[in-house]
Amino acid sequence: MKQSELLVSGRYLITMDDDNRVLEQGALLVRDAMIVDVGPVAELARRYPDADKVHEEHGLIMPGLVNVHTHAAMSCFRGLADDLPLMQWLQEYIFPREAKLTGDMVYVSTLLSICEMIRSGTTAFADMYLFAVDVARAAAQSGMRAWLGEALYDFPSPCYGELDNGFACMEALFERYQDHELIQISMTPHAVYTCSPSLLERVRDMAGAHGAIIQIHLAETEDEVVTCLERYGKRPVAHLDGLGLLDERLVAAHCVYLTDDEIALLARRGVKIAHCQESNMKLASGTAPAVKMLQAGLCLGIGTDGSASNNDVDMFGEMATVAKAHKVARMDPTAMDAATTVRAATMGGAGCLGMADTLGSLAVGKQADLIVLDLHQPHLTPVYNPVSHLVYAVRGSDVVHSMVAGRWLMRERKILTLDEEAIMAEMRELARQIMAM
C-alpha cells in the first residue's frame, strides 16, 4: 500500500540546514513522520503529483522551536507574585504552594503550558518538575515531544516524599516510556545547592545506565557560587566536574556565573547549555556569557524557564530578548545576530537534547517537526529578510499551523489534540484553590 504523502509549501522555507538555505516558494514532502524531500514548490509538485497539499501563499515554514528548559506546570503560578528577590519569592509564595500540589494540578497546569507552547511555535520541550508522571501524561496526550524527569533534591518532595522513592519513581518512568516515540525520560536533579554529592553521583549512575540526559540548574546566581564554595570549597562547575557529571549528556540551565576557564572546561567536556535570558532578567540574576560560550564552541539552546519567572513560554518573545540583551550587555549591535539566535532556538536545542541528527532543521531524513507562520500582517510587511523577522518582528501568535512527527497538532490556530477551553476553565478553578493556600 502506498504511504500517505503531504506536500507543505509556502512563500518562504527556512531550512536551518548546514548551508542555512532559505527557499522562496519552497516546499517539503512529509512521508509518515519524516521529511523525504525539500526544494522549490514547482519541482516537488511535479515529482509528487499524488501527494496531499497544504500551500500557504503568505506562509513561512520553519523547524519547530525547541524549548530546552522549562517547568511547564508552573503556569499555575503565573503572575501570583512578581517583582521580588528570588529567595523571598520562592520561600513566601512558591515553595509553600508547591508543597500542596497534587498530580492532577500538575497535569492541568502542564496541559495549559503545552497549549501555549503549541500556539507560539514550540514543538519540543525539556521539563523538570514534581509529579513527572503527570507531566508525561499531559505531554503524551498533546502529541508534543518532551524530555522530562522528576525533580530530585535532598529535602522531602510533595510528590514522592523521601529521596529513595524519587529514584524509584524515576525507574518507573524509564520503564514506562522506554519505547515511546515522543517522550524521553531524563534525570533532573534540581541544583548543586539543593542536591548532595551522593544524590548527584546516584543521578550520574542512573543516567549512564539508561543512556539518559541530565538536566540541572547551574551557576544561576552569585549566591549559588558562594554557597557552593562555602560547602565544598569549589565553584559549581568544578564541583560537578569532581563528581563526574560534566559530559555531553549534561544540559546545564542558566550558567550565568562562569569564568573564562569554566567556559573552556564546559566546552572540553561537551556540556550543553540551556540559556534562559528572560528568567535571568526578571529575577535580576544577571546575563549569561552566551556570546563567549558560542565562541568557545559550546552547544547552546534557548529555554523560557517556568511561567512563574518569565511569565510566558513564548520562544519568539524569548528570541527577541536574547538577541537584544546581549547587544546591550556588550554594547555591540552585532552580537547575537538574528541568524545565530534562530539557530540556537532550533538546531541548538536539538543538539542540547542529543537530537542534532533527528530534529532542529528541515532536511531530508529528519523528523517532520515544523511550524507555519502567517506573514500577511502589517507588522510583518514588507519582508527583506525573513530570518530578521523571526527574531525582531514575529510574535508567537503569528504561528498558524504546527506539526510534530508528521502529525498536525494545530491547524489555523486551532489545537487539534487538546481541549483548550476546558483546560482554561480548569485552570481558573485551580487558581481559586491556589489563592486560598
| Smallest separation (angstroms) from Zn ion to the CB of 190 | 9
Instruction: Output 305 or 369, the one with its CB closest to Zn ion.
Output: 305
* Residue recorded with cell 502529525: 407
Residues 56-115 that bind Zn ion (CB under 5 A): none
| Smallest separation (angstroms) from Zn ion to the CB of 303 | 8
Spell out a b/e string for 288-319, using b for 16 or more CB atoms within 10 Å of the CB, else e: bbbbebbebebbbbbbbbbbbbbbbbbbbbbb
Q: Are 35 and 363 in contact (CB under 8 A)?
A: yes
Nearest to 413 by CA among 424, 397, 425, 427: 397
Q: Are 191 and 228 in contact (CB under 8 A)?
A: no
Instruction: Output 286 or 406, the one with its CB closest to Zn ion.
Output: 286
| Smallest separation (angstroms) from Zn ion to the CB of 310 | 10
Nearest to 69 by CA among 358, 290, 277: 277
Residue closest to Zn ion (Cβ): 305
| Smallest separation (angstroms) from Zn ion to the CB of 349 | 15
Taken in order 158, 160, 163, 169, is the CA torsion positive or negative? negative
Instruction: Output 305 or 426, the one with its CB closest to Zn ion.
Output: 305
Stretch that binds Zn ion, among 77-85, 86-94, 100-108, 303-311 (CB under 5 A): 303-311
Instruction: Output 14 or 237, the one with its CB closest to Zn ion.
Output: 237
Stretch that binds Zn ion, among 57-65, 174-182, 262-270, 301-309 (CB under 5 A): 301-309
Q: How many residues bind Zn ion (CB under 5 A)?
A: 1
Q: Are 123 and 368 in contact (CB under 8 A)?
A: no
Stretch that binds Zn ion, among 177-185, 297-305, 364-372, 389-397 (CB under 5 A): 297-305
Instruction: Output 305 or 398, the one with its CB closest to Zn ion.
Output: 305
Instruction: Output 86 or 172, the one with its CB closest to Zn ion.
Output: 86
Q: Are 153 and 430 in contact (CB under 8 A)?
A: no
| Smallest separation (angstroms) from Zn ion to the CB of 431 | 22
The rounded distance, in Å, linking the Cα atoms of 53 and 173 is: 39
Spell out a b/e string for 12-26, using b for 16 or more CB atoms within 10 Å of the CB, else e: bbbbbbeeebbbeeb
State in Å, rounded, how far the first CA of the chain is from the last one: 57
| Smallest separation (angstroms) from Zn ion to the CB of 72 | 11
Instruction: Output 309 or 341, the one with its CB closest to Zn ion.
Output: 309
Stretch that binds Zn ion, among 45-53, 159-167, 304-312, 329-337 (CB under 5 A): 304-312
The rounded distance, in Å, linking the Cα atoms of 288 and 159 is: 32
**Using rule CB under 5 A, residue 305 touches Zn ion:** yes
Helix (H) or strand (E) holding 202: helix 197-210
**Binding mask 363-402 vs Zn ion (x if CB under 5 A, - otherwise)?**
----------------------------------------
Report residue 18 as a C-alpha cell. Answer: 548546514
Residues 6 or more apart whose CB falls under 8 angstroms from that of 378 comprise none
| Smallest separation (angstroms) from Zn ion to the CB of 90 | 12
**Using rule CB under 5 A, residue 278 touches Zn ion:** no
Instruction: Output 14 or 252, the one with its CB closest to Zn ion.
Output: 252
| Smallest separation (angstroms) from Zn ion to the CB of 217 | 5
Interface with Zn ion by CB under 5 A: which residues? 305
